[in-house]
Amino acid sequence: MGSSAVIYLVRHSKAGERRVWQGEDVDRPLSKTGWKQSQAVARRLSKKKVSSLYASPYVRCMQTLEPLGALVGLPVQAEQRLFEDEPFEPVLDLINEVKDGAVLCSHGDIIPAVINALVRRGMEVETPPDWGKASVWVLRRKGDRITRGKVWPPPVLAAKSAKK
């Protein structure tokens, strides 16, 4: 199977704390650490054959893919089906619709539900699950089925940046 028969499912990077954010949660942006995570994810994914970028319309999801978009010259497209607190089944439909190499960014409730549904449908998981912010699920597709999945854990950031 070629390396392009892959879809990437990214959990958004770290955002500011929900409990201290004053505005609507949909507008909560990435934190400084979140931006660093997004840049690390972008560097790794930019080495792959990325075909398109889709994100939940939440600011933190759109921002998670912006560094990747800048590196590969693709726009980040807002996709309602990746929204938080929504049913996961439309995300399964989206995964079937997108081209190989698509990168999708969503939330901590949607991604485990999608992965568990794919397992029920026969996907083999090659690594222990990791649901951390900025984790990336690499989903291998054969025809119209996701056959294997593995997760890249969140990027490890340099210790000197942790103080900022």
For residue 17, is it within any domain? yes
CA trace torsion 14, 112, 80, 28 (10° rounding): -20
pLDDT value of residue 161: 45
**Structural domain for 137, as ranges:** 6-163
For residue 69, is it within any domain? yes
Note whether 148 and 124 are within 8 A (CB).
Answer: yes
For residue 1, is it within any domain? no
d(CA 101, CA 89): 21
Instruction: Give the C-alpha distances (Å, rounded to integers) separating 100 from 1, 30, 43.
Output: 12, 27, 19
For residue 112, is it within any domain? yes
Domain count, the chain: 1
pLDDT value of residue 20: 82
Question: At 128, which CATH number?
Answer: 3.40.50.1240
For residue 123, is it within any domain? yes
Beta strands in 97-144 (DSSP E): 102-106, 124-125, 136-142
d(CA 158, CA 127): 24
d(CA 33, CA 161): 8
pTM: 0.92
pLDDT, mean of each 10-residue run, the chain (164 residues): 76 89 90 97 97 97 98 98 96 96 97 98 96 97 93 85 43
For residue 136, is it within any domain? yes
For residue 103, is it within any domain? yes
Q: How many CB atoms lie within 10 A of CB 57?
A: 14
* Chain centre distance of CA 33: 16
Three-class SS of residue 57?
Answer: coil
For residue 38, is it within any domain? yes
Environment class of 133 (CB within 10 Å of its CB; exposed 0-12, middle 13-18, buried 19+): buried
pLDDT value of residue 159: 61
